Amino acid sequence: MTRKRLTRRVVLKGVGVVGCSVAASPLLTNMTLAAMPGDARLVVIILRGAMDGLDVVQPRGDADFARSRPGLAGRAHDLDGFFALHEGLGDLMPLWKAGELGFVHAVSTPYRDKRSHFDGQDLLEAGTTMDALGRVRDGWLNRLLQAMPGTGAFAIGRENLKVLSGPAPVSNWAPNTRLALNGEAQKLLEAVYHDDPLFADSALEAMDLAAVMADDAAGGGDETSMMLQDMMRARGGRSEKALAAFAADRLRRDTRIAAFSINGWDTHRSQAQGLKRVLGRLSEAILTLKLGLGDVWGKTTVLAMTEFGRTVRENGTGGTDHGTASAVIAAGGALRGGKVYGRWPGLAEADLYDRRDLLPTGDVRAVAAWAMADMFGLDRGLLEGKVFPGLDMGDRLKLIL
C-alpha cells in the first residue's frame, strides 16, 4: 500500500469512524461530524421546509398575533409573560426552567422576497449575502475547517448538506453501501481512475475504507458493527432519535461539531397537526442528545435553524405560506437559556416586512457566529471575513455562558 493510502487509513481510524463509501460518485450526507481543538461541542440542526417561528415561539403578548391567526391559537406553555412555547415542544419545558433552552426571535438569513426553499436553504448553508446566491459553492462549516488547523470532517449518508461543501477535505461514508473487490478488480479500478482528477481520490478512499472495515471485521471489531446498526436504524421511522444518539456518541469522543437536518416544516395546510408532529421529532432529538451526552451536555450548544419563516396571517387551508423572519431554537448546558433573545418588531401591519411577514431584526448567521466565537474562541474578523463573508455580527449576543 502506498504511503498516501496508508496515511488516509490512519486518519480514518483515528477519528473513530470506519465503513464503506461509494467510489467515484457524489456522496450526499445526512450527518456531518467535525473534529476541532478544544472541549466545546456544537450541534447544528437544519429545519428544512421553513419553520413557522411565530407558531413555535408565540408572541401572545402582541394583540395582533391572535387577530392574525384565529385558527392557529392552540395550547402553549407560557415562557415569560409575553412569549409562549408551542405544545409540541412541551417536553422541553424542564430545559427552559433549567436555563438550558432559549430562542432568538425575528431572525433570518439575508434571503429576501423569492421565497424558494431551494434558494433559502442554499443561502442558509452557504452563510453568505444575497448577492452571492448561486455563486458560492462552499458552506460555512467547510470554511471554518479551512481556517482552523488540526480539524477534520466526516460525512455520513445520502442527504446533501451544503454547509460542509468546499475545499477542506471531507471523508464520506454511506451506511447502506458495500464495496467488495478482489485483487484484480481493485487493480483495474485503480488503473481506470489513475489519471482522473475528479474520481482518483474517491476511488482510493472507498477502497481504503473497505479495507479498514474488513480488517475490523476480521479482528472482531464491535465498533464498526454497532455503527452500522445505529446508522441503519437511523434510516428507519424514528431517524432523528437514532441520528441524535449516534451524534451524542461521537461528541463524547473526538467530534466537536455535528450537523444533521430534520424535514417536514412546510406547513401550507393543516398546520396545527403537522407542526405538532414535527416539533415532537425535534424535541425527541434534543432530549436524546442530552441523555446521550451525559456530563458533556454542559459543554454543548444545539442550534436549530431554518431557511425562512412564514406569513403572519394564516391562509384559507389552516396553514401559512412562505415568509421571511423566523426563530432559532437553542439548547444545551453551555447555554444562557431561559430567555427569548432578539428585538421584537411587532405584528401591526405597518411593522411587517412587505406588509405580510415577520420583519427580520437580526441575522441568523450572527447567532451561529457569536456561538462559535464564545465556544471556540474564534476571532470576530475571521467569522465576519472568512466563515460568514459580508456579515456584521453586531453587538455580542451573550447566548453562551
Q: How confident is the model at residue 372 (pLDDT cuts 50, 70, 90)?
A: very high
Write out the residue range of the structural domain in which residue 130 sits.
3-387
Q: Which CATH number do you get for residue 222?
A: 3.40.720
Section 238-262 average pLDDT = 88
Q: Is 66 a domain residue?
A: yes
* CA-to-CA dists, residue 164 to 33, 34, 170, angstroms: 10, 10, 8
Q: Is 120 a domain residue?
A: yes
- Tell me what pLDDT residue 168 has: 79
Question: How many residues make up the chain in this entry?
Answer: 401
In percent, the amount of the chain with pLDDT more than 90 equals: 59
- Tell me what pLDDT residue 6 has: 36
- Quote the CA–CA distance of 285 and 50 in Å, as a whole number: 18
- Tell me what pLDDT residue 77 has: 98
- Tell me what pLDDT residue 231 has: 46
Q: Is 258 a domain residue?
A: yes
Q: Which residue has the cell 455520513?
A: 156
Section 300-328 average pLDDT = 97
The H or E element spanning position 81 is none
> Phi and psi of 66, rounded to 5°?
-65, -35
Residue 4, C-beta contacts closer than 8 angstroms, at least 6 positions apart = 204
72-93 burial, b at 16+ Cβ within 10 Å, e below that, comes to bbbebeebeeebbbbbbbbebe
Pull the grid cell for residue 397.
449576543
Higher-pLDDT residue of 17 and 150 is 150
Q: Is 395 a domain residue?
A: no
pLDDT at 189 over 90: no
Instruction: Name the maximum alpha-carbon separation found in the chain.
Output: 73
Section 146-167 average pLDDT = 74
Q: Which residue has the cell 423566523?
A: 326
Q: Is 17 a domain residue?
A: yes
Q: Which residue has the cell 405597518?
A: 350
Lowest mean pLDDT among 65-74, 95-104, 160-169: 160-169
Q: Is 70 a domain residue?
A: yes
* CA-to-CA dists, residue 371 to 129, 261, 301, 327, 331, angstroms: 19, 19, 8, 15, 12
Q: Which residue has the cell 421584537?
A: 344
- Tell me what pLDDT residue 164 has: 79
| Number of domains present in the structure of the chain | 1
Q: How confident is the model at residue 56 (pLDDT cuts 50, 70, 90)?
A: very high
